[in-house]
Amino acid sequence: MTTASKITLARVALIPVFMVLLLLGYTWWALAVFIIASLTDFVDGYIARHYNQVSDFGKFLDPLADKLLVLACMLIFIQWGRMPAWAVMIVLAREFAVSGLRMVAAAGGKVLAAGWSGKIKTFSTMVGLCLMIAFPVAWLDVAVTVVIAVTTLYSGIEYFVKNWDVIKP
């Protein structure tokens, strides 16, 4: 197993730790764990590319770990009434749709590269959730939700527009 994959597995292992800390009210500890877990996303990607450790396992686990971390946080915010379910549905729908498009492309022997809008979506989502953890203020919850929804929709639409040839009727 590569170093990059071990870092990704560590991110997955941090998710329940983050959730327990946040649910028990240890906000600052939860925020620290969330930030560390978020940063591992950039670290494992850098290591995988820089040290030629790209693997099929990593290609599978890295995006899954990202989604699990983000959804864990969003689900807690839904439970607390701080984020509407429709916003999380946008995130889930985009992820399912893009994953489906990638599967169809892979079946046809094509690899779909991630675009910059997806990286911006991930970054703004992680930063926004950090802000929501640190500052439980209603107007900030609304602002972060809007940013997440808009960047998620934009990146999903862009992904399909750029790769329409994969599924065009």
What is the pLDDT, as a whole number, of residue 144?
Answer: 98
Q: How many CB atoms lie within 10 A of CB 169?
A: 2
pLDDT at 150 over 90: yes
Which has the closest alpha carbon to 160: 107, 119, 102? 102
Torsion, CA 71, CA 147, CA 114, CA 160, rounded to 10: 100
Q: How confident is the model at residue 139 (pLDDT cuts 50, 70, 90)?
A: very high
Residue type, 30: A
What is the pLDDT, as a whole number, of residue 109?
Answer: 85
**Residues 1-14: pLDDT tens digits?**
899 999 999 999 99
Q: What is the pTM of this model?
A: 0.93
Residue type, 24: L
Supply the CATH number for residue 12's domain: 1.20.120.1760
Q: DSSP alpha helices (H): ranges in the chain?
A: 3-23, 27-50, 56-79, 85-107, 116-134, 138-162
What is the pLDDT, as a whole number, of residue 112?
Answer: 81
With vertex at residue 107, the alpha carbon angle to CA 105 and CA 109, rounded to the nearest 5 degrees, is: 70
Residue range of the domain that includes 81: 3-166
Count of the separate structural domains present in the chain = 1
**Residues 34-74: pLDDT tens digits?**
999 999 988 998 999 999 998 888 888 998 999 999 999 99
User: What span, in angstroms and rounded, lies between the C-alpha atoms of 31 and 147?
Assistant: 20
Distances (CA, A) of 49 to 2, 66, 80, 111: 12, 18, 39, 16
Q: Between residues 166 and 16, which one has the greater pLDDT?
A: 16
What is the pLDDT, as a whole number, of residue 168?
Answer: 83
**Residues 67-116: pLDDT tens digits?**
999 999 999 999 999 999 999 999 999 999 999 998 898 888 888 877 89
DSSP labels, 136-162: --HHHHHHHHHHHHHHHHHHHHHHHHH
Q: Between residues 31 and 63, which one has the greater pLDDT?
A: 31
